[in-house]
Chains A and B, each alone.
Chain A
Amino acid sequence: MDLPFSLTREQEAALESAQEGLVLLTGMAGSGKTTAAIHHLLNLIQGGVSADQVLILVPQRTLAEPYFTTVRSPGFPQGLLPTIVTIGGIARRLIALFWPLVTEACDFSKKENPPVFLTLETAQYYLAETADQVIDSSSYFTSLRIRRNRIYSQVLDNLNKAALVGFPLDQMADRLTSAWNGESGHTAIFYQAQDIAVKFRQYCYQNNLLDYSLQMEIFHTFLSKQAEVQQFLKDSYTHLIYENLEEDAPASHDLVESWLPQFLTGMFIMDENAGYRTFLGADPVSANRFIPFCRNKIQFQTSLQSSARVQQFSKTLSDCIYRRTPEINSQVTEAFSLENFRLAPESTEAAAIEICRLVESGVQPKDIAVLTPILNDTTRFTLSTALGNLGIRSRSYRPSRPLNAEPAATCLLTLARLAHPEWKLAVNTYELRSALMTAIEGMDMVRAGILSDIVLHKKQDVYELGSFDTIKDPFRLEQITYALGERYEQLRAWIYTSRQSEPEVLDVFLSRLFGEVLSQPGFGFHLHYENAAICARLIESIQKFRRVVSVAGTFSGKDISLEYVDMVNKGVLAAQYLEMDQDKDENAVLIAPAYTFLMANQPVSFQFWLDTGSSAWSERLEQPLTHPYVLSRNWKAEEKWTHENELAVSQETLNRLVAGLAARCRQKIYLYSSGISEQGQEQTSLFLRALQRLNRHTYQYLEGNIV
C-alpha cells in the first residue's frame, strides 16, 4: 500500500471519529481528506468488515480513481471488493436488476424486453431523430439562431436537470419562463424545448430506452421507494464513504439521505469551495443537509499540496476578483508571475520558453500543467509543437472534443470506408493523403499526396487502392521511397484481405486494424499514446452504439456500422467523454482545459494559465434553452434572473475556479494574458480586470519596496 506513514492531526482525528456513526470531513482540495477516507476503508476491512459491505459513492468517475488505485494495489486484502460507484451507476444496476418491477409501474411499451441504457451519445442520436421531426414540421425556435446540435444538447441538459433536481419535466418551461427577465416573446422557445423533451421521453418509453435522465427519474421517484429495493440495499451495504458530495445533484442527495439509517458508519467528504459541476446539476447547498446528521465534523485546515505562498496568492487573487484591496507581500509576489502580451501567440511562445527553463532546471515535465479556459486545436497545436521543438513532451486532454475532428479518428474511418466497398462511400485523395500521413510513420504530406494521387482510383463505383508494386515510373518511386512504399503496401494488403474475409462489425474491424497493422513498428499508432487512446475511444463509442441500437430494435435494414459513420460525419455522434484518459503516468507536460484539470484532481508543482484575458474563465456557457441556476432547487419560483445574479455567479465561478486550481498547485503559477485574443478582438473580461488590479497593486508594492 502506498500510503503516507504519518498522518496529519486532522487525519488522525477523522479516523478516530469515523469508528462509529457519521462523520464529516471538510476542507480544500489537497488537504488529505481522501487519504483519510482510504485509511478508514482499510481500518474497516482490517476490523473485520467484509469489503463488499462498503459503498463508496463518487459524483463522477474520475474521483473514484484514488479508491480504484487502492483496491487494485497488491497490498489490498484479497477477496471481495467494495462497491465504488456513482449514484447513476447504482440506478442503472438496480433498474436492470428490478426491471420487472419497473415495467409493472412505468409506461414502457415493450414490457417483455430488457431495458436499453443510453449513453450520452446514443441519447443524442435518438433525440436528434425526435427533434428533427418536430422542428422540420413546425415553426419551432424561429426566434433563435442556433445550430441543431446545440438544440439537442440543451434539451438533453434540461431532461437531466429535471431528473437530477427532481421536478416534473412539464414544469421546466414554466420555471424558465418565470425567471426570464427579457422580452416576453422569447419564452415560447422554452415550451418548444419542453415539447421536444416530452416527445423524446415518450419515444423512450415506446422503445424501452433509458437515457440518464430517465434512469435517475425512475430510480429517484419510484424504484428506490420500493420495499424490495430498500431491503436489497440494506442487505448489501453497511458502511458508506461519500466523496465530494458537493459535486453531486439534489436527487442523489435525497437518495443517500433516505439510506442513512442503514449505515453503521458513514464518512462524508466535502470541499466547501468547490461545486465545479454546477452546470451538470451539482448543488453544494443541497449537500449541506448532511452536516446536521454528522456527529463529528473535522475541518482540514492545511493544504498538503499547495504551498503557503500559493495559498496566500489565491487569497490575494480572490480579493482582486471581488474588487477588494488586495494585500501584497513578498510571499505573494513569489507565488506568481504575470506577463501581458499584445497577441496570443506571443504569450504561448513565452510560456513554452519558461516551461523549457523549468525543465532544464530539473523540474519533471509531468509536474507542469498548462491550463486554458477552453482548449482549441490552435493553442494545443501551437504549444505542443513549440514544446516539441524545445525537446519537451506534452500530452493533452480535451474531453469534449468531437471525434470527427481528431486526425486519428478520421484516419481510421477513411481506412474503414476503403475496406467496406459495400457502403458505397466516396473517398477522395485528400482524405487518403491525411489517412496515410497518420497511419504510416514517417509519411509526410508531399509523399502521401503523390502516392494517393497514383493509387486511388474508382472502378465500377468502388474506390480501389492500387499496389505500390505496380508503380513503374522510377522518378515517382524515388520520390515516394521504397521504405514508405513498402509500409503502404502492407496496409493495402491488409485492407484487401479484410475485404475478402467475412464481414465483421466496425469495432471489431477497427481493433484488428489497430492491433494487426497500425500499432506495429513503422506505423503511426506505434507508441503514439494519444492516437491509441483515440482509437480506443472510437471503438468503445461504436460498441456502445451498436449494442444500444441493435438491442433497442429501433433500427432495421440499415447497416449499423454505416449508420455510425454517417452520424459521426453529421456531428450527431461525437464520442465525447467527460473523463480524463488514463495515461497520466507519462512524463509529459499536461495541456488541458482548466475544469478538466480540476476534476481530474491531480496536483502539479507549476501551473501555467494561458489566455487569462478570456471571458470563458468566468462566464458560464450561454445556453438559451436551459439555465443551470434557475433549474436548481435553490432558485425561488417567480424570482427574475438579473444581471446582478449573473455578475455574482460569474465572480463566484471565477473565484472557485482559480482557488481550486491554486489548491492543486505546489509552487508557482505563471499567468499569461494577451490584450488581443486569437480572434483578433480586444479582451475585456472579469478575470482580466482582476488581474489588472493585481498588477497595479503588485507594481505599487514593488515600487514601495524599492523606495
Chain B
Amino acid sequence: MFNPRPTQAPVVAYQAGKMGVSAVPGSGKTTTLSMLAFRLIAEGKIGEDQEILIVTLVNSAVDNFNARIQGMLHEARLIPSGFRVRTLHGLANDIVRQKPELAGLDNQYMIADERIQTVLLQDATRKWIRLHPEVIMALTSESHSLQNTNVRSGWQNLVQDIAVSFIRQAKDMGVSPEDVRIRMEEQGWQDQLLQMGLDIYTDYQQGLKYHGAVDFDDLISKALQVISTDSGYLAELQERWPYILEDEAQDSSRLQEDILRKLSSRSGNWVRVGDPNQAIYETFTTASPEYLIRFMQQPDVVPQNLPESSRSTASIIHLANDLITWTNTAHPNPRLRSSLRKPYIQLTSQDDPHPNPEDNPGGIHLFDQKLAPEKELSIVVNSVKKWLPDHGEDTVALLVPSNPYGEQLVEELKKQGVPYHEILRSSANTRTTVNLFVKILEHLSKPERQSTLADMFEAVYRFKSPDHELLPLESDAARYLRRLHNPEKYLWPKPGQELLEEFQTKQDKAELEEVLADFRQTLQRWHQASLLPIDQLILVIAMDLFTEMTDLALAYKVAQRLEWAAMDNPQYTLPDFVSMLKPITGNKESFSGFDMKDTGFDPSQYKGKAVVSTYHKAKGLEWDRVHLLSVNNFDFPSGDAGDFYVAEKYFVSSQRNLQAETLASLASLMVNQAGFTPEGNPAAEARLDIAAERLRLLFVGITRAKKELILTWNTGKRGNCQPALAFLALKNIHEQEQQ
C-alpha cells in the first residue's frame, strides 16, 4: 500500500472543508488524491448512494484515477464503488443529460466535435468575408494586396481565429448572440470587428442548432444553467457528492469554478489541487491560475504544498527552479515577474522509496547556436539517432510548440530513418482506431478485391496485438489473402469450395486455417451487418473489436458523425463514408475523443522510438530524455518590443492584433452586464498574457525530463527570430553553476 511522504500526509489526512494544494511537477498528486479518496471511502464517510467526485482535465487522468482507487479498494477487500472520476466535460454532460430540457436541448442532443465546429466556422467565415469585402480591404496594410493568395488565405484564417476566440469568450461570459446584439443596439455601438464576431457567432449557433448539437463550451455553460435553475436537482447532486476533489485546478475557468462551488456549497468539502506554474490553456479564455491562487488565499481554505518531486535529476530540478527565480527577480518586464511562482521544486529525501534519478549535470544542454528551422530539425534528429541504439530501455521525446513544425519534424525523422511515434493533433490511438474503420469500410465497399481483404486483415490483427506487430502466422495469413484470386470462395464458400484451395504452403496449414476461419466468421457477420444503417454497422463492428472505453466512445462518435452525414445526404454510399473518415487517419484534421485532449498515452510503451509531441500535449507525461525545440522569441516571447507575435499579422495595417481588439471590445460591451472589466491597450495586454503563458509552457517542457534535457532554438520562418530571453538567461545561469 502507498505510504505518503511527510509532505503528502496532511493532504491524505484531510477530513472536511476546503483545502487548496499547490503541487509541483512530479510530486505524485494523482497518487495523493487517490489515496485521499480511498481513505474517505474506507473510513465509511460515503453513504450508500453517495460518491466522491473527482474532476480532472483529461481522459487519461480519469483512467489513471480509476485504476488507482480501484486497486487500493481491491487490495483492502472493499467493493470498488463510492467514487466517480470525471473530466469537466464529462461531468457537464452527465449533468445536462439528465435535464436537457432545462438547457433547451432535446434528449438526443449530440456533442459537436472539432470537425463539425470547424466546418461550421469555415462556412460562416467565408460567407462573412464575401459579404464584407470593404471591411477586409480597409484593414489590410497598404503594402499588401488582396490579390495575393497568401494574404487572402491569411485573412480567412485570421477571421476564423478571431471568431473562435470571440465565440469561446462569449460563451465563457454566458452571453448569446442575441444578448450581444441587443447590447450593441442599446449602447449604439458601431464596431466592425465586434459586428464581425457577432455575425459569425450567430451563424455558427444556427448551424449547431440545425444539427441538434452543442459544442464543448456550450456544454459547460448549459450544465451551470441547469444547476442554477433547478434547485431540487442541485440538492440531489450535492447529496450524491459529499466530497469534491478537483485535479489540475490551475486550468479552472470561471464557469468550472462556479459549477464546482455550487456542487460543494452544501457540504463545503472541496479539495483543489493544481500547479499554477503549469497553467498553459488560458489564452483568450477565462481559465486562469488566479482562481486557484485566490482560492488558496481565502480564510476558510487550508493551504497545502506538495513541493517534493522524484521525477528529475537534481540538475534538471535546479534549472526549473532557476527559471522561477529568474522570472521573479530578473525578468525585464516587471509585469511578467509573477508568471511563475514559488514553491520551488524540492528533491525527495534520501530515504524516499522513490528517489530522484542519480544526478548528471552533463545531461543538460542549452544549444545556443543560431540555426535555421530545417537545420535545427536535422541536428536534433541526428542527435537522437545516435543516442537511441545505446538507450534501448530509455524513453525520449521531441517537443515542438506547434503542429506544423511537428509535422516537419516527422518528415525529418522519416528521412533519417529514425523510429518514431507522434502524438500531434489526434493521438496515434485515435488514428489507429479510425484507420481500422476505414480499412473495414473499404473492404465492405469492395469485398471482391483481395487487397481490401488483406489490408483489413492486417489492420484488425495489428490493432489486436499489443505492439501493433503481426505474428508470423498472421503475416502468412495476410499474404495468403493478398494472393487470393477468388475472395468470394474464401468469404462465402459454396458447397465443395475448399477454404485453402489456392494455398500452396503445407507448413502450419492447420493453424493458418484456424486463423482464417476465425476471421471469416467475424467478416460474415460484418457483411450481413452492412445492410444496417451506417451508424449501426459501425457499432456492430465496435462491439466485436473493442474492449476499451475510449475506443468504444470513439466508435460511438464515428457512428454519430456518419449517421449525421447520412441523414443530411441520403444518397451517401460506403465510399463517401470512407472519404469522410480518411482525413482523420492522415492527420489532416483533428478528431478528438469525448474530451478536447487525447487520452491514454503511456511514454513507457515507446522505448526505442522518438516520440513527437507538442509542449501542450506533453503535460502530465515524462521521458528520460527530452528535446525542447524552437525556444525562440516567436514561440516564447518575453513582452519585449522586438518580439514577434502569432496574433499580429503582417498583412494587417499597423500589424494590429485584431483578435485582442475584438475580444476587448466584447468585454467592454458586456462590462456592466457580466462584470468584465477590460484593462489598458488590448494588444499590449494580449502580448503580456502570451508571454506569461509561454514562460509556464517552457517550465512544463523542462519538467518533463527525467535525466537529460536539450534545448535548441531556430531563426523562424522569416529568418529573423532570436533566442528567447529565458533561454539566454538559463544558459547563463547554468554555465555559471557549472563553473
Could you tell me which A residues sit within 8 Å of B by CB distance?
141-147, 150, 181-183, 186, 189, 323, 342-345, 348, 376-378, 381-382, 385, 405, 407, 410, 426, 428, 430-431, 434, 437-438, 444-447, 449-450, 478-479, 481, 569-571, 615, 619, 621-624, 642-644, 646-647, 676, 678-682, 684, 689, 692-693, 696
Contacts and interface: CB of A to CB of B under 8 A. Distances in A.
A182 B213 contact: no
A180 B540 CA distance: 40
Contact of A624 (B49, B100, B448): B100
A211 B695 CA distance: 68
B265 to A, nearest CB: 16
B543 A145 contact: no
Contacts of A445: 444, 447, 491-492, 527-528, 530
Contacts of B234: 643
A103 B472 CA distance: 82
B198 to A, nearest CB: 15
Given A146-B109, A624-B100, 18 more contacts: A142-B209, A144-B105, A144-B209, A182-B102, A183-B229, A377-B532, A385-B525, A434-B530, A449-B446, A450-B488, A479-B448, A479-B488, A615-B98, A647-B232, A678-B543, A679-B552, A680-B551, A682-B549
Contacts of A150: 106, 108, 212
A570 B280 CA distance: 46
Q: Which 6 A-B pairs give the minimum distances between C-beta atoms?
A: A680-B553, A643-B232, A622-B107, A680-B552, A377-B536, A444-B492
A381 B105 contact: no
5 contacts: A145-B213, A381-B540, A437-B531, A445-B527, A622-B106
Contacts of B229: 181-183
A682 B99 CA distance: 17
Given A145-B104, A146-B212, A378 B491 contact: no
A619 B108 CA distance: 13
A11 to B, nearest CB: 43
Interface stretch (B302-310, B401-409, B568-576): B568-576
Given A145-B212, A450-B448, A323 B544 contact: no
B37 to A, nearest CB: 16
B288 to A, nearest CB: 27
B131 interface: no
A189 B104 CA distance: 9
Interface of B: 48-49, 79, 81, 84, 94, 97-102, 104-109, 206, 208-209, 211-214, 225, 229-236, 444-448, 486-488, 491-492, 494, 525, 527-533, 536, 539-540, 543-544, 547, 549-556, 567, 570-571, 573-574, 594
Contacts, number: 180
B539 A444 contact: no
Contacts of B527: 444-446
Contacts of B553: 679-681
Given A438-B531, A571-B567, A145 B232 contact: no
A98 B267 CA distance: 67
Contacts of A405: 532-533, 536
Contacts of B105: 144-146, 624
A204 B447 CA distance: 51
B448 A446 contact: yes
Contacts of A146: 105-106, 109, 212
Contacts of A450: 448, 488
B93 to A, nearest CB: 8
A426 B570 CA distance: 12
B182 to A, nearest CB: 12
Given A145-B208, A680-B550, A382 B536 contact: no
A378 B487 CA distance: 27
Contacts of B556: 678-680
Given A145-B109, A381-B540, A434-B530, A447 B101 contact: no
Nearest to B101: A624
A681 B446 CA distance: 33
Q: Is the interface of B mostly helix, strand, loop or mixed?
A: helix
Contact of A378 (B79, B213, B536): B536
A446 B494 CA distance: 12
A568 B688 CA distance: 58
Contacts of B94: 684
Contacts of A619: 98
B531 A434 contact: yes
Contacts of B573: 428, 430-431
A647 B494 CA distance: 57
Contact of A680 (B97, B446, B549): B549
Contacts of A144: 104-106, 209
Contacts of B104: 143-145, 186, 189, 624
Nearest to B447: A446
A696 B446 contact: no
Given A623-B107, A680-B555, A407 B532 contact: yes
Contacts of B106: 144-147, 150, 622-624
Contacts of A183: 102, 225, 229
A446 B234 CA distance: 56
B554 A479 contact: no
A479 B212 CA distance: 46
A430 B544 CA distance: 24
Given A430-B573, A445-B447, A693-B48, A678 B552 contact: yes
B536 A381 contact: yes
Contacts of A182: 101-102, 229-230
Contacts of B547: 342-343
A256 B710 CA distance: 87
B464 to A, nearest CB: 15
Contacts of B225: 183
Given A446-B487, A622-B101, A378 B230 contact: no
A692 B585 CA distance: 41
A348 B543 CA distance: 10
Contacts of B492: 444-447
A128 B124 CA distance: 28
Contacts of A676: 549, 552
A642 B533 contact: no
A150 B533 CA distance: 19
Contacts of A407: 531-532
A323 B539 contact: no
A450 B485 CA distance: 14
Between A147, A323, A431, the greatest number of chain B beta carbons within 10 A of the residue's beta carbon is seen for: A147
Contact of A569 (B236, B543, B570, B574): B570
A571 B568 CA distance: 11
Contacts of A642: 230, 232
Nearest to A154: B106
Nearest to A435: B531
A405 B533 CA distance: 6
Nearest to A692: B81
Nearest to A684: B94
Nearest to A484: B494
Nearest to B218: A145
A378 B539 contact: yes
Given A181-B229, A622-B100, A381 B549 contact: no
Contacts of B574: 430
Between A142, A478, A621, A689, the greatest number of chain B beta carbons within 10 A of the residue's beta carbon is seen for: A142
A344 B444 CA distance: 25
Contacts of B79: 696
A384 to B, nearest CB: 10
Contacts of A378: 536, 539-540, 543
Contacts of B532: 377, 381, 405, 407
A145 B205 CA distance: 9
A376 B529 CA distance: 13
A621 B527 CA distance: 33
Nearest to A624: B101
Contacts of A681: 553
A446 B550 CA distance: 32
A655 to B, nearest CB: 16
Given A445-B530, A446-B487, A678-B543, A343 B552 contact: yes
